[in-house]
Amino acid sequence: MKTSSSEPLEHIGAILPRTLKTCQPEKISTFIGICSIWEEIVEESVAENVRPAAYKHPVLIVHVSSAVWSHHFQFIKKDIIDRINAILKKTAVTDIRCQIS
């Protein structure tokens, strides 16, 4: 296979370690932790309509099913932030932002 570049191809095994160093593993593990406890910290109806989508320290982005759920979530998000931080035993989240999906 001919490439348009004159540089030799680099093996994926050489690229991945360099790339993963830039991924900030602590943020990834925090997001995975939040996802794993989500259903135990929110009510079933909330879990059905609101789900963690991304983590941009210290902000959690959640996808909501509708504008109504986005509005409702504003009333309970402080309690959810407190629960997340208590279970993770650190100040992982200071705000939660909603996006309608």
> What does pLDDT average to in each consecutive run of 10 residues of the chain (101 residues)?
69 76 82 94 97 95 97 98 97 97 89
- What does the alpha-carbon distance between residue 11 and residue 53 come to, in Å, rounded to a whole number? 31
- What does the alpha-carbon distance between residue 91 and residue 58 come to, in Å, rounded to a whole number? 8
- Domains of the chain, by residue range, sit at 24-100
**Closest among 34, 58, 56, 57 to 47, alpha carbons compared:** 34
* pTM of the shown model: 0.78
**Closest among 99, 18, 24 to 58, alpha carbons compared:** 24
- What does the alpha-carbon distance between residue 33 and residue 31 come to, in Å, rounded to a whole number? 5
Angle at 100 between CA 56 and CA 91, to 5 degrees: 30
- What are the residues whose beta carbons fall under 8 Å from the beta carbon of 52, sequence distance 6 or more? 31, 34, 35, 38, 60, 61, 62
pLDDT, residue 19, reads 74
Fold classified for 24-100: GMP Synthetase; Chain A, domain 3 (3.30.300)
Contact 90, 26 (CB under 8 A): no
pLDDT, residue 100, reads 96
pLDDT, residue 79, reads 98
